[in-house]
Amino acid sequence: MQNELLALEKKHCIGWREYRIGDLFEKLDLKRLKEGIFDKQNEISKIRNEEFDLPLVNAKNGDNGIMYYARSSDYESAEMTLDIVGDGAVSTGNVYPQPERTGVLYNAYLVKPKWEIVTKNQLLFMAPTVEKSIKLKFGYENKAGWEKVKFEKITLPTANNEIAFDYIEEFIATLDAERLATLDAYLTTTNLKDYTLTSEEAQALADIDKVEWGEFKIGELFEIKPTKNYGLTNQKLFETKGETPVVSNTSINNGITGYIGLEPTEKGNMIIFSDTTTDEGIFYQPNDFVGYSHVQGMHPKVEHSFEKFDYLYIATAFKKAVRGKYNYGTKMNRESIAKEKIQLPIKSAHTPDYAFMTTYIKAMQKVVIKNVVEWADKRIAKTKEAVEKSTRHCEPFPLRHCEP
């Protein structure tokens, strides 16, 4: 892939140049149109439907910056923009592409490119480029407001003293094709393309409404302990590059912030959660990792050899039990979580049916992966068709003479 991208730079005669963010983008002043005091319960929804059809940006970490949806008539909106989180405990400085029509709730804002023709691929390129420039410069104590962000600089591909939009389009298309090929190879090597349910798995899905349920305090099943960490600043921690994951207080990427060259501090096969975020910070960690301040680990108290599918089921039950109860103000501390109750299938009085949990999660994995496989197959077929058309009708690109 690196050779392909280098060839792409050569093809387009690319140089790299700094641009000031405020010279390329303008902040949009989008307002709430509904009169009266904001009524969160009745005015917005976490679920998108026919009524609540307009995505709203706010201080969201993950999910492309969208947590709520509103009625289109209640908010001004714009399309083909970048969403910048100005004020969030974890998400300050996050930048998301927003190609579709989007409104603003709070703690974030939209900026629109100043050039005339804007495409989705341009936004996909610009969002991480802007985030790379601002993410580590701003935080909860230093808000990423536009009056500061607009003076920051980004480095962009340039040809003939102009931003190389043709290169950007081809760069994103090349990455997209490579990711599809990687996904296809992964699905094949892991045998996930075989999504046919076994009779046991089909029965588990059919029997879900007949299951007997029991209620368990998390503290009955697990001892909750802080994960061990190196006590270093982020700058020091991430100085060494390697393959050991660092699990931090993030609600995306399975809780992983990055990879370092230090030894793991915790064994994998564990459910973890951040005590500074919400239910979105609950994850199963399959591999050994380095812990982080405020990240808690759950260690089994009961006599059962927990495996991946047990933990995936319990993590989901845990998320469901605490959804909406905790936030940055009401923290998920160890004492509170130990008292939380989760519902699990049981095979006898107060004994979890771990075998059913495993079979059910395996079945659900196949149901979900079926959609992924079908989507990937369609995308790959379309990509091949586009390449074949291009090959039939287009001459190979001419070699250009690049000015020094």
Give the model confidence (pLDDT) of 167-218 as tens digits: 999 999 999 888 888 888 888 888 888 889 999 999 999 999 999 999 999 9
Nearest to 355 by CA among 344, 370, 367: 344
CATH topology of 16-163 equal to that of 212-352?
yes
The CATH number that domain 212-352 falls under is 3.90.220.20
Q: Per residue in 7-47, pLDDT tens?
A: 999 999 999 999 999 999 999 999 999 989 999 989 999 99
Identify the sign of the CA torsion 100, 105, 106, 111. Answer: positive
User: Rounded to two decimals, what is the model's pTM?
Assistant: 0.68
pLDDT at 50: 95
- 3 pLDDT higher than 80: yes
**Each residue's pLDDT tens digit, 121-135:** 999 999 999 999 999
Integer angstrom CA distances of residue 53 from 37, 102, 269, 290? 21, 10, 39, 40
Q: Looking at residue 399, what is its pLDDT?
A: 47
Q: What is the mean pLDDT of the segment spanning 285-304?
A: 95
Question: What mean pLDDT do residues 97-103 have?
Answer: 97
Domain ranges of the chain: 16-163, 212-352
CATH number of 16-163: 3.90.220.20
Residue 100 vs residue 398, higher pLDDT:
100
Q: Residues 155, 16: contact at Cβ < 8 Å?
A: yes
Give me the chain's average pLDDT, please: 91
What's the average model confidence in pLDDT over 305-317? 95
Token match 């089921």: residue? 313
Look at residue 279 and give its three-state secondary structure.
Answer: helix
Mean pLDDT of 280-288: 95
The Cα 337–Cα 333 span in angstroms is: 6
Helix (H, G, I), strand (E, B) or coil at 56: strand
pLDDT at 296: 97
185 or 285, which is more confident? 285
Three-state SS sequence of 345-374: EEEECCEECHHHHHHHHHHHHHHHHHHHHH
Is pLDDT above 60 for 349? yes
Q: Is 384 left (phi over 0), alpha (psi -120 to 50) or beta?
A: alpha
